[in-house]
Amino acid sequence: MDKLRVNLGLDSYDIVFEESFAELPRAMSNINAPKKLLIVTDSNVLELYAKEVKELFTECGYDVKVCSFPAGEENKNMKTILGICNACVEHEMDRNSMIVALGGGVVGDMAGFAAAIYMRGIRFIQIPTTLLSQSDSSVGGKTGIDFKNGKNILGAFHQPKLVYINVSTLSTLSDIQFTSGMGEVIKHGIIKNREFFLFLRDNVTLVKSKNPYILIKMAKANCSIKAKVVEEDERENGLRAILNFGHTIGHAVEAAFDFKMTHGECVAIGMIGAGYIAYKRGLLSETRLDEIEGILELYGFCMRVNIPDIDKVYELMQKDKKKIDGVLKFILPIKVGEVVEVRDVTKDEIYSALSYISE
């Protein structure tokens, strides 16, 4: 097994990279997983992988039940969480039982949140099946649900005991969903590692063709960047805030469009907006702004979006959970591979950026 260790003391865990689910039972054995498991998934992944994963576990002597909910960001709410908890009760799960999150970011966020609150916290593992979840949401222990038009307003930090990445699941993704995931991957190169950024730029054809060798290499490098940030700042008290690059604007755009745009598309638009603010401040050269926009265009992102109501987007930004003491935090790039946090972005600068991305 190809593995990467996330070092968080007692909460440390491995990220496993494979081309199938074949090594999943051995990975579970390595963490001494309990015999009673609840697989949490959505209606899309239920048809694709739930049966295979359940049979693998059952053949190894696990007592497994599957809990699914309708796919979609609109179902990332407390009603669905209570449904998962109800399934835990019906399966007679105790504090030594384990939840298995099988699916994309919505599944992982909600399964993790349910695990964090059921009986004051039980163990869970992540088996991400989308590029977005494999590259970002499955690593780091952030769990949660949307609330009052705000993304991930309710939640908890709850680290998984294992992340099992099977890159073959990416073959079933639509081009739109694959592109969405690349938004977070590219983000990690921009904030922390120019070499990785250049790898993505130079291997765009192989990445988009979903070459398994390249996907595993990309996934391991990508997760290594995020893991190092999480190791230094597990609960986002400092450095980890750089992972929010593109999200301050991106989350607001996502909400303004009633989550009809993908998360990655919105993050990409947010990165362009943040890059523009940095450029106008003299922090980022025009050449580097073009470089950031260039790689996003290579991977098929829309460079601009028609925002019919800029005032609404600005209003939604004010509800962002990253707002501290009435001040919005922005992560701005100063070059590819380095960003800074600022807390003095003005309303005029935000409106200028929103106008720029909506041209």
* CATH code of 120's domain: 3.40.50.1970
Q: Give me the domain span that covers residue 269.
A: 175-357
What average pLDDT does the structure give for the chain? 95
Is residue 226 annotated as part of the catalytic site, yes or no? Answer: yes
Read off the pLDDT band of 323 (50, 70, 90).
confident
CATH number of the domain to which 228 belongs: 1.20.1090.10
Count of domains forming the chain:
2
Spot the catalytic one: 184, 254, 265, 291: 184
Whether 10 has a pLDDT exceeding 70, the answer reads yes
pLDDT band at 152 (very low <50, low <70, confident <90, very high): confident
* Same domain? 213 vs 260: yes
Annotated catalytic residue within 18, 251, 265, 291: 251
Distance, first Cα to last Cα, the chain: 47
Q: What is the mean pLDDT of residues 165-178?
A: 95
> What percentage of the chain exceeds 90 in pLDDT?
89
**Mean pLDDT, residues 57-83:** 96
Do 195 and 146 lie in one domain? The reply is: no
Q: What is the pLDDT of residues 16-27, one digit of tens each?
A: 999 999 999 999
Residue 151: per-residue pLDDT? 80
Domain boundary among 124, 140, 172: 172
Candidate from 20-24, 125-129, 221-225, 304-308 with smallest mean pLDDT = 304-308
| One domain for residues 190 and 305 | yes
107 with 219, same domain: the answer is: no
Question: Are both 113 and 25 inside the same structural domain?
Answer: yes
Give the 3-state secondary structure percentages of the chain, helix then strand then coil, rounded to 5.
55, 20, 30
For residues 206 and 257, give the distance between their C-alpha atoms in angstroms, rounded to a whole number: 32
The answer to whether residue 250 scores a pLDDT higher than 90 is yes
Which residue pairs, CB below 8 angstroms and at least 24 apart, start in 82-85? 84/38, 84/40, 84/110, 84/111, 84/114, 85/114, 85/117, 85/118
Range of lowest pLDDT (79-88, 144-153, 190-199, 274-283): 144-153
Are both 205 and 118 inside the same structural domain?
no
Residues 205 and 162 in one domain: no
286, 264: one domain = yes
pLDDT at 324 over 80: no
What phi, psi does 316 have (nearest 5°)? -65, -35
Rounded mean pLDDT, 282-286: 97
Do 30 and 15 reside in the same domain of the chain?
yes
Rounded average pLDDT over 193-211: 97
Same-domain status, 69 and 26: yes
Tell whether 303 and 351 lie within a shared domain. Answer: yes
Look up residue 36 and give its amino acid.
Answer: K
Annotation says 240 is catalytic: yes
**Of 151, 158, 161, 226, which is the active-site residue?**
226
Is 247 part of the annotated catalytic residue set? yes
What proportion of the chain, given as a percentage, has pLDDT over 70?
99
Residue in 244, 254, 265, 291 annotated catalytic: 244
Structure token digits, residue 14 = 């491995």
Is residue 271 over pLDDT 90?
yes
pLDDT at 321 over 70: no
Residue 148 sits in the same domain as residue 197: no
Tokens 């983000």 -> residue: 187
